[in-house]
Chain A
């Protein structure tokens, strides 16, 4: 195209990039501005982060809780959809179409509508106010996308790969473990990535299922900080908290960008 149109593209692109980055930059900037700044004093430093560290049960507790929930959700999602996807493609069993349809139905039924019965059910199962219980619920929400992705991944592998392993004396499980897993690794990373982000960022489910303040995940703890349940709102600490909760997501995105696109192009992504 002409040079002016190329120029227009770069100008628009740059302007948009700045516009999209500004809110984040402002938050990072405010998070390192000391409290004194408001009263005109000098104030650069980590005072906001120090107050955040000591907030409530402590930032460390909330971070650990969030990590526990994410690890449970990601590992359960990856293991069950890998096994399930493999079975769907290579081990025809009675009822697999029913299972596939029921799992996909999770997409059609937004989980916010079943939160109330889930709350009761988790109580019956002794999993209320439990990080593991929360992780399991979040895993179920990721199963449709995970199953779809893993089924397609196994489907894309040539059947001869497994046959060759069987000829070489592998058991079916051995063939899956030693040969096929490497082939579906990109699918596994994509599933892990999307379920990690969903679990890390989840707000409603932990808000409802976790009743004990020391069990809160980061988003719920920050919400409490914002709604001022412990006195007036500490904006500095809140902005520091937003940075802490967003940082892993941004980092993961920058490292694993191409897996996002993979998730999109598979056409099974639910927003």
Chain B
């Protein structure tokens, strides 16, 4: 190689005993601004501005059509609305069930496919395949499975001699059916995350555990799980945030009816069915505040456990 010196010295003779910044690095910094400008403009316009606008909207009576007018904190009364509280409760229930079921299944799958051997790539690919399909498409696909009488699910039920099951009819069955669908859709995704975590554990540690006479369960509890904690935490953050913001699955599978409405469906309803954007913004502000608190708490937890 020629030289490892900074580029300015290769282009120009030695710079004069430095003023604060030489012209070349000033030019580079100007070019940097130009290069970063498109991103700054996009993030500023379509992220920062709406964030500020949301807070402003939440303090105004803001109909879908017509003029807005300030009304203080009135919109925040939406947080006491029984329908909203019901949506919060349902969302929490859904989040808890999904995170546990999905986490356990994905962990099992990750343990199954972590070792490299013949054919394991194909198994991983098939398990991951549903993750490439959109959530809306998945919901439409399962809508057919859950509702048509000719679906294999219902034919199976008939074969066993049971009556017709209304998979999406009650709150309970709708919840169970949706969790099953979400597990199908996301298990491979979390499997891959957990698998990369498993593979980054030093094999020497397993060897040491074996020499110390640890059984398979002991190895799992004493070696694998503690070392996998950061990865598990990441997967959990993703699953929690994703489920707390669920929309597509319930909106498509059950039409977002009241007993299966999530928080985001409630926001959608306030905004575009009740046409009260101010109330919707108030609910959004509150939701966002809670999510940020949850996120910060989780980060703290991950960081502490990481040590």
Contacts and interface: CB of A to CB of B under 8 A. Distances in A.
Interface of A: 6, 9-10, 12-13, 16-17, 20-24, 26-27, 30, 38, 76, 79-81, 83-84, 86-88, 90-96, 99, 102-103, 105-106, 108-110, 112-121, 125, 136-137, 139-140, 143, 147, 159-160, 162-164, 166-167, 172-173, 197, 200-204, 208, 219, 222-223, 226-227, 235, 238-239, 241-242, 245-246, 249-250, 252-254, 257, 260-261, 264-265, 267, 269-271
Interface in B215-270: 234, 238-239, 241-242, 245, 247-248, 252, 255, 264, 267-268
A235 B141 contact: no
A20 B31 contact: no
Given A20-B126, A91-B32, A172-B31, 10 more contacts: A26-B151, A80-B39, A114-B50, A114-B288, A121-B45, A140-B46, A167-B7, A201-B134, A239-B144, A261-B196
A9 B135 CA distance: 30
In the A-B complex, the 9 residue pairs with the closest CB atoms: A201-B134, A91-B32, A93-B32, A203-B136, A87-B35, A253-B132, A117-B53, A117-B50, A84-B39
Given A91-B31, A93-B33, A116-B277, A250 B129 contact: yes
A184 to B, nearest CB: 14
B186 A13 contact: no
B71 interface: no
A201 B136 CA distance: 7
Contacts of A245: 134, 137
Q: Which of A21, A112, A143, A253 has the most CB of B within 10 A?
A: A112
A10 B188 CA distance: 17
A118 B32 contact: no
A121 B291 CA distance: 23
Interface in B145-186: 145, 148, 150-152, 184, 186
Contacts of A9: 112, 117
A94 B29 contact: yes
Interface residues of B, number: 93
A116 B192 contact: no
A167 B6 CA distance: 11
B10 A163 contact: yes
A153 to B, nearest CB: 15
Given A17-B127, A208-B272, A102 B112 contact: no
Contacts of B135: 201, 203
Contact of A114 (B1, B32, B247, B284): B284
Nearest to B127: A20
Contact of A20 (B11, B54, B129): B129
Determine the main DSSP class of B at the interface with A. helix
Interface of B: 1-4, 7, 10-11, 25, 28-33, 35-36, 38-40, 42-43, 45-51, 53-54, 57, 109, 112-113, 117, 119-120, 122-123, 125-130, 132-137, 140-145, 148, 150-152, 184, 186, 188-189, 192-193, 196, 234, 238-239, 241-242, 245, 247-248, 252, 255, 264, 267-268, 271-272, 277, 280-281, 284-285, 287-288, 291-292, 295
Given A118-B50, A140-B43, A79 B38 contact: yes
B196 A143 contact: no
A147 B42 CA distance: 13
Nearest to B62: A120
Given A116-B267, A116-B280, A143-B43, A110 B245 contact: yes
Contacts of B295: 108
A114 B123 contact: no
A162 to B, nearest CB: 7
Contacts of A163: 2-3, 7, 10
Given A91-B31, A99-B39, A201-B134, A117 B112 contact: no
